Amino acid sequence: MATRSQTAALLVVGALALAACSAGGVKPSSAPQSGAKTLVIDTSFDLKTADPGRTYEPTGLFVGKAVYETLLTFDGADVTKPVPALAESYELSEDGKVLTLKLKKGATFADGSPLTADDVVFSLTRVRDMKGTPSFLLDGVEIAKTDDTTITLTSKAPNPALPYILPNPALGVINSKVAKEHGATTDAGDKAEQYLNTASAGSGPYTIESFNLSSQVVLRANPKYYGAKPAYDRVVIRNVEAATQKLNVQRGDSQVALNLSGDQVTGMPANLQVKKTASANVIFLLANQDSSVSKTTPNAKFVEALRKGVDYAGLLELAGEGSTQAPGIIPSQLLGALPQDQAAKRDVEGAKAALAASGLSNPTVKLEFPSELTVNGLSFQPLAERIQANLKEVGITVDLAPAPVTTALDNYRNGKEELGLWYWGPDYPDPSDYLAFLPGKLVGLRAGWKDGADKAVSAAGDKAATTIGDEARKAAYADVQTKLNASGPFIPLIQPSQNIVTAASVTGLEYHPVWTVDLADLGAK
């Protein structure tokens, strides 16, 4: 998930400036009432703002989902079909260019005022035009109010992904009247972020009580929420390292730990629930196709040797329970993912034969990866070491070149890595997000795969991008990945497990690849 930090296939979790804020806008009472239910969640913050028009970090989307509502959403963990939220219905035109949404009646903001079509138009236009991190979600989309209950979103080209994009919490609807009073505009001059970091201008089940970028966010149940009352009166979200998360949930100081590795969740006490689900993050290898970067990796038979030489089962052992092999670059949760029976299998003799056919004799290549980055608690270092050992068995020498995130990221973005080990999390849960891996596209260029390098793959991608209808899109994106696996420079490896530990009192928790957890879905025993 991310600021196009996931577009860069990277969540950089660094030191964040302190920005302590007191509650504003909708004022909470100073202390929880007797008998109030409080939920404490420990997570590792990747958080920059509570302004929905500017947020695109995982923790920000998690908070935004609770405070703001979107036109569409997803039912639990299922991201294969958008469902109504603030919109009671939606319809995509046959040419895929016009999305018409009918607003439901009765939605209100946290101050009790009604949510209107004008609020929707202002909110979405603001995201698109003030050019914050998530503005790309609505690039080229015209937003209009047809009448008081109808919104139309019009794209110049077919845009079947749009219903899958609209559930993103960055597209949450804000109270335009209140926001404008505090500097909100629909251009780069917008100054409402500071206010939105302290106040609740949304219609969601929770409001912001306090917001601190480096330590904790406290939410309180919205007393004027028009929908079903949330189970918890107060939610405290704390920035805690994984090792401390484990201790806290074991001793009852918290009820949810979101960021534990597979090793950390083994042997948990019987009074705790452990949910192990394959994350939507796909870890992959890239082999640079630019001959100015490498004389070795552009060789198609060398890439075949890589693909056949990796021990995928061994990588899964490192990743732990809940992880799964990635048959293609699109993760298993999304429409168009390849079935497991199409996943690559290790073939040492086949890898040796491909290497012999390459004409390369005892090749040595450099594998770069971010040294301090972990994905779902999994470090890149042991994965790289395992890949190094695998490929040595087939006659390929791999020199490991770990680097700090900023250095590794620069080389990756600039297409300078001979071999790279990275991951990609979905910017939005639609297969079109993965067209970035095609020749001449964002990630394709990072692998030195220039436009026109593989016309069959590009043609399949062009077809998939404009295909309408779930079944047809599923087939089109499966075709893209099959071709990509056959001739592309990317080797999908694994989807590491998302491990969430909860107290027995917490019910209804489902991992979601966009907002991690929907607080409104949680129940309390």
Return the structure tokens found at 479.
């075709």
Q: What's the rounded Cα separation, in Å, for the pair 296 and 396?
A: 11
pLDDT in tens, 236-256: 999 999 899 999 999 999 999
Looking at the predicted structure, is the pLDDT value of residue 121 above 80? yes
Burial 167-191 (b: 16+ CB within 10 A, else e): bbbbbbbbbbbbbeebebbbeeebe
Looking at the predicted structure, is the pLDDT value of residue 55 above 70? yes
The 10 Å Cβ neighbour count of residue 147 is 9
pLDDT in tens, 69-106: 999 999 999 999 999 999 999 999 999 999 999 999 99
Looking at the predicted structure, is the pLDDT value of residue 22 above 50? no
Q: Which has more pLDDT, 310 or 24?
A: 310
Q: pLDDT-derived band of residue 35, with 50, 70 and 90 as boundaries?
A: low
Q: Which residue in this structure is represented by tokens 């394959």? A: 278
Q: What's the rounded Cα separation, in Å, for the pair 236 and 268?
A: 23
Q: Cβ(351)–Cβ(474) under 8 Å?
A: no
Where is average pLDDT lowest: 262-266, 280-284, 397-401, 421-425? 262-266
Domain boundaries, the chain: 38-262+499-524, 282-495
Looking at the predicted structure, is the pLDDT value of residue 438 above 60? yes
Output the DSSP codes for 80-99: EEEEESSEEEEEE-TTS-EE
pLDDT in tens, 493-509: 999 999 999 999 999 99
513-518 average pLDDT score: 94
Q: What's the rounded Cα separation, in Å, for the pair 104 and 251?
A: 44
Return the structure tokens found at 188.
């780069």
Instruction: Note the helical H segments in 130-241.
Output: 162-165, 176-181, 193-196
Q: Which residue in this structure is represented by tokens 């110049």? A: 156
Please give the single-letter amino acid code of residue 255: Q
Distance between start and end Cα atoms, the chain: 31
Residue 60 φ then ψ, to 5°: -65, -40
pLDDT in tens, 361-412: 999 999 999 998 888 888 899 999 999 999 999 999 999 999 998 899 999 9
Q: Which residue in this structure is represented by tokens 């056919």? A: 357
Q: What's the rounded Cα separation, in Å, for the pair 428 and 425?
A: 9
115-129 average pLDDT score: 98
Q: What's the rounded Cα separation, in Å, for the pair 161 and 450?
A: 25
424-437 average pLDDT score: 95
Contact residues for 126 (Cβ-Cβ < 8 A; gap 6+): 53, 174, 184, 185, 186, 190
183-203 average pLDDT score: 96
For the entire predicted model, the pTM comes to 0.88
Given its phi and psi angles, is residue 304 left (phi above 0), alpha (psi -120 to 50 degrees) or beta?
Answer: alpha
Secondary structure of residue 504 in the 3-state scheme: coil
CA 54 → CA 31, 170, 186, 190, 196, distances in Å? 30, 7, 12, 11, 10
405-426 average pLDDT score: 94
Q: pLDDT-derived band of residue 52, with 50, 70 and 90 as boundaries?
A: very high
CATH number of this structure's domain 38-262+499-524: 3.40.190.10
Q: Cβ(313)–Cβ(346) under 8 Å?
A: yes
User: Given this chain, do its domains 38-262+499-524 and 282-495 carry the same CATH topology?
Assistant: no
Where is average pLDDT lowest: 16-30, 51-65, 68-82, 277-291? 16-30
Q: Cβ(261)–Cβ(498) under 8 Å?
A: no
Q: What's the rounded Cα separation, in Å, for the pair 38 and 522?
A: 12
Q: How many residues does the chain have?
A: 525
284-306 average pLDDT score: 98
Alpha-carbon torsion 316, 321, 323, 325, what sign? positive
Secondary structure of residue 406 in the 3-state scheme: helix
The 10 Å Cβ neighbour count of residue 454 is 23
pLDDT value of position 7: 38
Beta bridge partners of 211: 21, 217
pLDDT value of position 498: 93
List, in sequence order, every beta strand (DSSP E) within 393-507. Answer: 397-403, 419-424, 490-495, 497-503, 506-507
**282-495: which CATH number, 3.30.420.40, 3.40.50.300, 3.10.105.10, 3.40.50.720?**
3.10.105.10
Q: Cβ(82)–Cβ(279) under 8 Å?
A: no
